[in-house]
């Protein structure tokens, strides 16, 4: 009986625990910790973030993203130019080199959701389709953190080195 109780308790904890490393797998790619932030009413844009680990021997590239809640979705980077933070569209996508980790995070590479049709609500995950040049497409659910959050709750762990 004790074994059964421990097994059931472990199973319940496993089911209730948030997903972290290896959230999604697409070929040799691991798509970890997809998230975005809640937006206030009337907001027309939001950023999406994710960690992509390329465990393969072949380079790939995130070429696009789609989300039903946004009229337009683009891949962007933010960088400092002459002391001014500038956002720039990356029409050729985001390289995901073989054997490396690429972090899409606030203040750097990110998915840009534009022409939002309604506010993104905190706590309710949103579906987003990521398309890679070689690995293909995968739908992920982005968790939704509080407005302005630096990361979603419980997502302090990151794989390897960031490549921005």
User: What per-residue confidence (pLDDT) applies to 162?
Assistant: 38
Compute the half-sphere exposure of residue 76: CA atoms within 13 Å on the CB side of its CA: 23
Return the pLDDT at 155. Answer: 54
Please report the pLDDT score of residue 80 as a whole number.
84
**Residue 70 confidence (pLDDT):** 97
Chunked mean pLDDT (size 10), the chain, 164 residues:
40 38 86 96 96 98 97 94 91 98 96 96 95 98 94 56 39
User: What pLDDT is stored for residue 21 in this prediction?
Assistant: 41
Task: Using the structure block, give the residue that is written with the tokens 């999604």.
Answer: 24
Cα angle 6, 7, 10 (rounded to 5 degrees) comes to 85
């Amino acid at each position: 009986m004790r074994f059964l109780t421990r097994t059931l308790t472990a199973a319940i904890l496993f089911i209730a625990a948030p997903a972290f490393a290896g959230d999604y797998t697409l070929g040799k790619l691991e798509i970890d910790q997809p998230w975005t932030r809640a937006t206030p009413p009337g907001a027309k844009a939001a950023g999406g973030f994710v960690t992509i680990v390329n465990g393969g021997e072949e380079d790939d590239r995130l070429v696009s993203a789609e989300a039903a809640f946004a009229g337009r979705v683009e891949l962007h980077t933010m960088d400092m130019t002459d002391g001014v933070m500038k956002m720039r569209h990356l029409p050729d996508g985001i390289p995901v080199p073989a054997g490396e980790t690429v972090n899409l995070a606030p203040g750097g590479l990110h998915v840009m959701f534009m022409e939002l049709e309604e506010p993104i609500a905190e706590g309710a995950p949103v579906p987003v389709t990521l398309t890679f040049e070689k690995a293909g497409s995968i739908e992920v659910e982005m968790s939704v953190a509080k407005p302005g959050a630096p990361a979603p709750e419980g997502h302090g762990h990151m794989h390897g080195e960031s490549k921005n």
